[in-house]
A and B are shown apart, each in its own frame.
Chain A
Amino acid sequence: MPKPKITGVVHTRDSAATLEAALASLAWVDELMVVDMQSSDDSVAIAQRHGAVVHQVEIAPRIDGVRNRFTAQASGDWVLVLDSDEYLSGDAPDLVQSLIADKGGSYDAFALPRYNYLGDQVMVGGGRHPDYQIRLFKKGMVLWPDAHHTLPLVTSGPGHLWEVPPSRGPHIHHRNYRDLRQLITRQLDYALTDLYPSDPASFDFAAYLARAHQQMALRSDPETDGDLSQAMALVMAWDAVMRGLIHWDSLEPRPPLNMLDGFPRAAAQMPRWEIRLRRYLGRHLALKHLLRAVRARLRALLPKRG
């Protein structure tokens, strides 16, 4: 049986710092496509050096709709999508080909496990691994909704999606943050540039403190990730408090902050049973992740297919 043709797609916007590693790890694909959002650095030159077909697009607030347009233009039977700060391992060609050969007849899309790096360390505790990403799929079988942080849809239904066990699959390696300083800088940038509700009556500082409490409880996993996990939990808790203060500062008139009153109320808003449940399920904060985790566990109880 002939090998199916694979198209690699990478989106860039001033991505020169990380693009080299991403494209070098895709040197084996049959077609390499780089979709660039008006980079002013060397991204395009790097892409051309790696033999990629470069498509220029206008700067858009979200990458998702753009992804659909260009994955549809792929000439390959399968599409492999990487972000510009991600890369694949040295044995990815073998692993991807054997994955397609073994399971491609039964499934239309694969969710690949992802390693997320903070500095030099991969964070695996607190649900940070396998951190499945739907990135390898038959052409036309996956669509990204045009919204922030939404999961892509497998057009033939979730039954045709396989979450590749970490023990046998290629991983996506994601250099999230260069170091803790970069994490702090980015979080502060997001917090300062985010939009906050303008109605003073709806402001509740305790909700932000509850989120800080939640972040501390869920993200800290020192037995798996050591001190760095505690540092990350502290940054994310600090981020929640900063957001509360930035929100409060933007209101006119400023409502009472009620800081001292907020702490006990925040603890009550995140009961211990919920923390335990979420830690058990190995997922973080969003309900959609919880539902996926429950679904995956139920599916694991069913007879295996393919």
Chain B
Amino acid sequence: MSPKLLTVIIPSLGMLPMLEQCLDALGRSLEAAGVREQSTVAVVDNASHPPLPPKRIAAAGAELLRLDGHHCFARANNLAARRWPAKHYLMQNNDVLVQPETIGEMLGLLGRMPQVGICGARMVFPDGSLQHAGVVFGPGKKGPYHLLRTKPSHLMPRIDREFQAVTGGCMLIRGELWQELGGLDEDYPFGLEDIDFCLRARQSGQRIFCCQGSESLHFEAMTPGRAKLDSPSRALFMSRWQGRYTIDG
């Protein structure tokens, strides 16, 4: 059987009501893009206790990959990508509500620009301030950060733009690139494995864009226990990449 056009991977540790809203918005976006039938939506239950209810996940139009051990974000995504191979992978957080236009815009950009391997999405917080419109890199220990994060959304032009990296909160990746790079690096406990992946993609000659046409909603860092894993991830990232990326200023 030939791989589908798209596999959307959504790891989740509990958070069922949020996840159902996420799947509902995603379903509308896949419908609007006309790719619902060519897509697999994969929810990775990353050791929720009690487990996520299989019938409710199926009713939301998603496949369920249950993991009994709690795995890092990278491993959860890699396992799902291996289970449902596709021509494109969309990594999405369970606290992201995509707009109906979002998936179509992202697939459209990769379709128009064959040299682009990864496409991110513009996202806002519930108060309308920017959550993500591209990742830039600061000097010294500042490292990667979200451009204009928490600033009013109108400060960022609505023009698709190239970056060195975009967030994995909602990131579309060509399947060939995913295979070539071996998926996400599982050494990262939680966080910055997405930026690591982008930098590795650039090293293999791929360009990275962020779609600015629509504004999806991202509540950000809703998963319990995630904050304590940020520091070791950041330390690992900086030890590997500091001095190897370009300072954006």
Asked if B114 lies at the interface with its beta carbon under 8 angstroms from chain A, I say no
Q: How far is B164's CA from A237's CA once the two chains are assembled, in angstroms? A: 64
Quick check: is A168 within 8 A (CB to CB) of the other chain?
A: yes
Pick the most buried of B56, B67, B68: most chain A CB atoms within 10 A of its CB.
Answer: B68
Q: Is A173 an interface residue (CB 8 A)?
A: yes
Interface assignment of B79: CB less than 8 Å from any CB of chain A: yes
Instruction: List B51-99 residues whose CB lies under 8 Å from chain A.
Output: 51, 53-56, 65-69, 71, 79, 83
Instruction: List CB contacts (< 8 Å) of B96-153 with chain A.
Output: none
A-B contact count (CB 8 A): 41
Inter-subunit contact A89/B50 (CB<8 Å): no
- Answer whether residue A251 sits at the interface, using C-beta atoms and an 8 A cutoff: no
* Interfacial chain B residues near A110, Cβ < 8 Å: none
Could you give, for residues 147-173 of chain A, a 1 whenever the CB lies within 8 Å of some chain B CB and a 0 otherwise? 000000000000000000010111101
- Chain A residues near B54: list those with CB within 8 A: 120
Residue B49 lies at the interface, judged by CB distance under 8 Å to chain A: yes
Of the stretches A91-99, A136-144, A270-278, the one at the interface is A91-99
Contact, CB under 8 Å: B55 / A89: no
* B68 in contact with A122 (CB, 8 Å): no
Given contacts A90-B83, A91-B79, contact A170 B68 (CB under 8 A): yes
Of the candidates A91, A121, A122, A124, the one having the most CB atoms from chain B within 10 angstroms of its own CB is A91
Given A91-B79, A169-B68: A122 and B55 interface contact (C-beta under 8 Å): no
- B56 with A115: CB separation less than 8 A: no
| Chain B CB within 8 A of A119 CB | yes
B66-A119 in contact (CB<8A): no
Measured CB to CB, the nearest residue on chain A to B55 is A120
Q: Per-position contact with A for B17-57: 1 when CB-CB < 8 Å, else 0?
A: 00000000000000000000000000000000111011110
The distance in angstroms between the C-alpha atoms of A91 and B80, with both chains bound, is: 11
Residue of A nearest to B83 (CB): A90
Assess the B67–A122 pair: CB atoms within 8 A. no
* Shortest Cβ gap from A210 to chain B (Å): 31
Interface residues of B in 181-231 (CB under 8 A from A): none
A170 to B66, CA, bound (A): 11
Which one, B49, B56, B68, contacts A91 given CB within 8 A? B68
Nearest chain B residue, comparing its CB with the CB of A121: B53
Q: Residues on B close to A: CB < 8 A? A: 49-51, 53-56, 65-69, 71, 79, 83
A sample of 11 inter-chain contacts (CB < 8 A) reads A88-B68, A89-B66, A89-B67, A90-B67, A90-B79, A91-B68, A122-B50, A122-B51, A170-B68, A171-B68, A173-B66
6 shortest interchain CB distances as A-B pairs: A122-B50, A120-B53, A120-B55, A89-B68, A91-B67, A89-B66
